[in-house]
Amino acid sequence: MVLEITQIGNPVLREVCREVSADELASSEMQQFIDDLIETKRAANGAGIAAPQVGRALRIFVVEVKDNPRYPYKPEAELTVCVNPEIEFLTEERYLNYEGCLSIPDLRGKVPRCPHIRVRALDRSGQSFERVVKGITAGTFQHEYDHIEGVLFPDRSDPKTFCTWSEFALRHEDQVRRDVETVVEKWGE
């Protein structure tokens, strides 16, 4: 089921989300919620979505990029469900990239992101995993992780870079495509 996406101003987007217990994760209700979260992300053409974006203050997010018309310049990323995740930065280097958010319609802004991270989390079945993520995809994981910490991309952006999606397409998208190619060339993903 496609869920309603919570919009900026809703206090749940500013909460530090709670961890999900093993019993809770194993429940049919939570498994259905994860299915619904994935379906909602896909219906909205998001690169990822976190539980607070559908009104649930839980430490769960999903990332997936495949033939995404909203982000045609992003490299593909396999579906990854992260429960109770932790992120470790593996370099001091940062790149700037325009980000948008399903919870903040029609706004983009440049955000500094780490191009080399390690993600530790549980998958939807409760199994621990660790994954090194690089490049633009690393930024997507950080964006979703920020959501479960109560942080939105404008908190990390220079307000002078804010623009609507149409202005982004008109004035910035060509440069962003080149910048993404540079990041992917250097870091992969």
Question: How far apart, in Å, are the Cα atoms of 84 and each of 26, 48, 132, 142, 157?
Answer: 14, 16, 16, 14, 25
Q: Which of 4, 144, 173, 185 is catalytic?
A: 144
Residue 61 and residue 71 in contact, taking contact as beta carbons nearer than 8 Å: no
Alpha helices in the chain (DSSP H): 22-26, 28-43, 135-148, 153-156, 165-171, 173-187
167 is catalytic: no
Residues 6+ away with beta carbon under 8 Å from 58: 17, 18, 20, 51, 52, 148
Residues 6+ away with beta carbon under 8 Å from 75: 65, 135, 136, 137, 180, 184, 189
Cα–Cα dist 6/104, whole Å: 9
Cα–Cα dist 180/138, whole Å: 12
Catalytic residue IDs: 144
